[in-house]
């Protein structure tokens, strides 16, 4: 008889957990209070972004996630694109950090520092004026989270027989069981992957953890004209201050000082600007970062405008019309950890707190965790 596992939460961390257990022979049931995916896992760029992870175990985890995404979405028949990424450089301070990053990673990554001419060849949407160069990385993959998450759920149901009980809120978890709607369901293993809703189950566990919420604002354009493609995913200098992969680079302190003096609003609201294109032609643009236990439920139009102003300074595209704006909220560790993995009771695990790297790291993290059980 198979061991039984219950996963609480059907976001990307929960789905990754369900996959890692099911392929190892567990009988898995996934519960979620929502009848369909509505959280951070469908409210993001769809960027699988290994270039943002520091060299070492996290980069290896990200590359494992990348290979699993490609394998799963190919099997599910869902769209994805191996675009790579360009980080656009327009200030001497940015160029210094970029040069050091590429030099440090020469033996660990396939990154390259491109001249302006070569950068424009990779991404014709870039503006030549003021362009000093770009960091090219071939590892980034774009998925459409609105399609990829449901496709992954379908694959889990059909190929490894994961059961989904959506629209059913789990109200209690203990060793060997969960309760939902007054009913008790027993299992050998329970894994809580509840994302930013971290007070409902094990509130004391999370009260003691160094965890908070992050709200990010995003925008989506109308589909671009048929045949027009952004090509590689794009980001720019502000991104150098956001990802841990650049944290030890020479010149980063000077770059942060430059931004604080010249674009303080971007620093205050945690804005670094990125763009990706879906298979349907839409561009996803963003984003900002507001941290706190209870993020403002209302979006700030001036933040959206700051994002667009910065974006239009380094690239352009045929259709600027904005179709949708929204925000996502995810759980984030505040003590430097990249995830929260804990066993508060025997046979009960919590996997949470991956921050903005859920799409990039979840499949790899849960493979490591399940392999060590």
The mean pLDDT of the chain is 96
CATH architecture of the domain covering 85-138+211-333: 2-Layer Sandwich (3.30)
- Provide the pLDDT confidence category of residue 270 given band limits of 50, 70 and 90: very high
**Given this model, what pLDDT does residue 199 score?**
87
Instruction: List every span in the chain annotated with CATH 3.30.9.10.
Output: 85-138+211-333
Q: To which residue do tokens 């969960």 refer?
A: 178
- Whether the pLDDT of residue 107 is over 80: the answer is yes
> How far is the C-alpha of 112 from the C-alpha of 19, rounded, in Å?
34
> How far is the C-alpha of 267 from the C-alpha of 306, rounded, in Å?
11
- Whether the pLDDT of residue 116 is over 80: the answer is yes
Instruction: List every span in the chain annotated with CATH 3.50.50.60.
Output: 4-45+146-209+338-372
Strand partners, 249: none
pLDDT in tens, 294-318: 999 999 999 999 999 999 999 999 9
Q: pTM for the whole thing?
A: 0.96
Q: Which class for 62: exposed (0-12), middle (13-18), buried (19 or more C-beta within 10 A)? A: buried
Say if residues 46 and 359 touch (Cβ distance below 8 Å).
yes
pLDDT in tens, 341-354: 999 999 999 999 99
pLDDT in tens, 121-176: 999 999 999 999 999 999 999 999 999 999 999 999 999 999 999 999 999 999 99
Strand partners, 315: 126
**Given this model, what pLDDT does residue 230 score?**
95
In DSSP notation, 116-185 reads HHHHHHH-TTB--TT--EEEEES--EEE-HHHHHHHHHHHHHHHS--EEEET--EEEEETTEEEETTEEE
CATH architecture of the domain covering 4-45+146-209+338-372: 3-Layer(bba) Sandwich (3.50)
**Given this model, what pLDDT does residue 37 score?**
86
């Amino acid at each position: 008889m198979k061991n039984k596992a219950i996963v609480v939460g059907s976001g990307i961390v929960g789905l990754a957990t369900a996959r890692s257990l099911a392929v190892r022979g567990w009988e898995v049931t996934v519960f979620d209070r929502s009848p369909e995916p509505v959280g951070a896992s469908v409210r993001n760029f769809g960027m699988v972004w290994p270039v943002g992870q520091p060299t070492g175990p996290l980069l290896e985890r990200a590359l494992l996630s990348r290979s699993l995404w490609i394998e799963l979405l190919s099997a599910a028949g869902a769209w994805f694109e191996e675009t790579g990424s360009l980080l656009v450089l327009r200030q001497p301070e940015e160029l210094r950090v970029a040069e050091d990053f590429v030099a440090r990673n020469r033996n660990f990554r396939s990154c390259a520092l491109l001249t302006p001419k070569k950068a424009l060849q990779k991404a014709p949407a870039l503006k030549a004026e003021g362009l000093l160069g770009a960091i090219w990385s071939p590892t980034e993959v774009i998925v459409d989270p609105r399609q990829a998450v449901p496709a992954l759920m379908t694959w889990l149901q059909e190929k490894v027989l994961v059961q989904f009980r959506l629209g059913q809120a789990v109200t209690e978890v203990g060793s060997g069981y969960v309760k939902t709607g007054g009913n008790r369901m027993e299992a050998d293993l329970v894994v809580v992957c509840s994302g930013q809703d971290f007070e409902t189950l094990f509130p004391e566990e999370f009260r003691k953890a160094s965890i908070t919420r992050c709200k990010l604002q995003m925008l989506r354009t109308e589909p671009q004209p048929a045949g027009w493609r952004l090509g590689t995913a794009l980001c720019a200098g502000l991104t150098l201050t956001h990802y841990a992969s650049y944290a030890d680079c020479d010149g980063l302190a000077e770059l942060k000082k430059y931004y604080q003096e010249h674009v303080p609003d971007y620093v205050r609201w945690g804005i670094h600007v990125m763009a990706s294109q879906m298979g349907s032609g839409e561009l996803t643009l963003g984003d900002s970062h507001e941290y706190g236990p209870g993020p403002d439920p209302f979006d700030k139009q001036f933040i959206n405008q700051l994002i667009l102003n910065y974006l239009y300074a380094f690239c352009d595209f045929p259709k600027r019309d904005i179709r949708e704006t929204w925000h996502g909220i995810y759980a984030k560790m505040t003590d430097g950890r990249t995830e929260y993995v804990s066993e508060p009771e025997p046979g009960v695990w919590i996997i949470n707190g991956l921050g903005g790297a859920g799409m990039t790291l979840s499949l790899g993290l849960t493979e490591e965790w399940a392999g060590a059980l």
